[in-house]
Copies of this chain bind each other. A is one copy, B any other.
């Protein structure tokens, strides 16, 4: 954790918070904080500040907090459209892309998505929230992303995608594309990443018709979670 995220409910006084769970465990076991030590803290969806460790252990820790005066880091101006993945992989993608600053996720169905993935408990809002918080804590950020799920490819791509892509650079990661993925793009990007096994040619065609360009990042296929990181790193 590179920031301890706080909510209003954590406040027991105007300048004192009491935290439990993952956060107190981390402060105690990993950061090994001691009384008087300052920690980077942030209000969920708010600013960043400093907290002073007052007392506590892995079960429960009290911090004294002052003003929250520092704005969170700028968001990455990339909408990430990602095919549903094996839940373990999906968690890594959401965490790492959140740590890199993605604020808008759209999870879609595609031909090669295994149907069983849709019954994963990951798809409950509380689970996404957990992954977002892990990502934000890693990236030193406070602003919770949004996520929407589109379980029907065709209506999404035909009816909604053109409006999402409009005014942005639309890119579909596709290993056999002839165009290379650009570097260091300024402005808004809409990026689509396929399932293990990739998008079908039909799906790439449909997304191209919606205004997206198919691009590759070299001759070597990467695991989905690393492909997402690699492309975000190139673009940002």
Contact of A230 among B218, B219, B220, B233 (CB under 8 A): B233
Distance, CA A232 to CA B234, complexed state (A):
9
In the complex, chain B residues whose CB is within 8 Å of the CB of A219: 73-74, 140
| Complex Cα spacing A234 to B219, Å | 15
The secondary-structure label for the interface of chain A is: loop
Question: Do the beta carbons of A221 and B139 come within 8 Å of each other?
Answer: yes
How many A residues, CB 8 Å from partner? 28
Complex contacts, A226 vs chain B, CB 8 Å: 96, 99-100, 226, 229
1/0 contact string of A204-223 vs chain B (CB within 8 Å): 00000000000001111111
The interface residues of chain B lying within 8 Å CB-to-CB of A217 are 233
Closest to A221 in B: B2
**How far apart sit A112 and B52, CA to CA, in the bound complex (Å)?**
24
**Across-interface contacts of A73 in B (CB, < 8 A):** 219-220
* 1/0 contact string of A15-31 vs chain B (CB within 8 Å): 00000000000000000
Q: Which of B96, B220, B221 contacts A222 (CB 8 A)?
A: B96
A222 with B183, Cβ < 8 A, contacts A229-B229, A230-B229 known: no
- Across the interface, name the chain B residue whose C-beta is closest to A3: B221
- CB contacts (< 8 Å) of A223 on chain B: these are 96, 99, 138
Name A140's contact: one of B99, B220, B232, B234 (CB within 8 Å).
B220
12 example contacts (A-B, Cβ-Cβ < 8 A) are as follows A2-B221, A74-B219, A99-B221, A139-B220, A139-B222, A140-B221, A183-B183, A183-B234, A222-B229, A226-B226, A229-B233, A230-B232
